[in-house]
Amino acid sequence: MFEKVLIAEDYESASISVQRSLKDLEVKKTHFTHYCDDAYDLVQKSIAENQPFDLLITDLSFEEDGKIQKLKSGNDLIKEVRKIAPDLKILVFSSEKRPQIIKALFDDFSIDGFVSKGRLDVQDLKKAIGLVYKGEKYISQDNIVNMRKRDNIELSSLQFHILTLISEGLLQKNISDALREKNIKPNGQSTIEKTINQLKESFGAKSNEHLIAICKDMGIL
């Protein structure tokens, strides 16, 4: 099991879950900090002293409390840590639900696991830590479901173009002309209205603005 673990978390309630998990797993040395800058400094110091951390567990969101910080989020911390400790195991413990954000953490920063904060997060954390220790990747089950939902969404070319135009601020009444200029068919007003209504129904959106917000959250746009 990991011997030296660093925890970056600004909420005591969340840190309790992490510390309980590490205690149950009999991790020998744990270091805790509320700030990303401090976490980065600890990683840097551990490398300089030839006593590097085996695992970093970090949240993504850190509330500002007046203390000036260069690294203001878990994303910033992970990005900078990866530059000095490319082999450090990193586990994100967060309430983030957006599939595209989670996927980007694995794709861009090569994190090793993502655990959702929730009712059973202690069990989830222990499972994740155990698998990451064995060299495996881990994502909480609810996040896997959300990512599969996103991957299973298939938009037609017309639907995608209409969504893109709306997201660019084009009024619905002007979409027909924009499609015609791009030689995209069908481009009639009735077809556009029907397509938008179908998209809003499929995504459970109450308005065009709500539809675009949902699509952006899901990483479609």
Of the pLDDT bands very low, low, confident and very high (cuts 50, 70, 90), residue 97 is: confident
**Residue 13, domain CATH:** 3.40.50.2300
**Residue 184, domain CATH:** 1.10.10.10
Rounded to whole angstroms, the Cα distance separating 193 from 68 reads 49
Neighbours of 114 (CB within 10 A): 24
Q: What's the start-to-end Cα distance of the chain, in Å? A: 41
Q: Are residues 10 and 101 in the same domain?
A: yes
Rounded to whole angstroms, the Cα distance separating 186 from 213 reads 25
Q: Are residues 20 and 92 in the same domain?
A: yes
pTM of the model: 0.67
Of the candidates 150, 171, 200, which is a domain's last residue?
150
Whether 128 contacts 116, CB under 8 Å? no
Q: Are residues 144 and 157 in the same domain?
A: no
Of the pLDDT bands very low, low, confident and very high (cuts 50, 70, 90), residue 219 is: low
Of the candidates 129, 150, 171, which is a domain's last residue?
150
pLDDT digits (tens, 9 = 90+) for 16-34: 778 888 888 889 899 999 9
Q: Are residues 137 and 165 in the same domain?
A: no
As given in the structure block, the two tokens for residue 35 are: 């700030």
* pLDDT recorded at residue 108: 87
Of the candidates 105, 123, 150, which is a domain's last residue?
150
Q: Are residues 85 and 172 in the same domain?
A: no
Q: Are residues 12 and 31 in the same domain?
A: yes
Q: Are residues 99 and 181 in the same domain?
A: no
What mean pLDDT, rounded, does the chain reach? 88
Question: Could you tell me which residue, 181 or 96, shows the higher pLDDT?
Answer: 181
Q: Are residues 71 and 171 in the same domain?
A: no
Question: Could you tell me which residue, 13 or 173, shows the higher pLDDT?
Answer: 173
Whether 158 contacts 195, CB under 8 Å? yes
Q: Are residues 62 and 163 in the same domain?
A: no
Q: Are residues 70 and 176 in the same domain?
A: no
Range of the domain at 158: 153-217
As given in the structure block, the two tokens for residue 139 are: 């994502």
Strand partners, 91: 57, 113
pLDDT, average across residues 115-141: 87
Residue 143: pLDDT over 70: no
Let me know if 169 is exposed, middle or buried by CB neighbors in 10 A (0-12, 13-18, 19+): exposed
Q: Are residues 107 and 204 in the same domain?
A: no
Whether 175 contacts 166, CB under 8 Å? yes
Closest to 143 in 3D by CA, of 87, 199, 92: 92
Q: Are residues 141 and 87 in the same domain?
A: yes
pLDDT digits (tens, 9 = 90+) for 149-177: 555 566 788 998 999 999 999 999 999 99
* pLDDT recorded at residue 217: 76
What backbone phi and psi angles, to 5 degrees, belong to 113?
-165, 155
Q: How many domains does the chain have?
A: 2
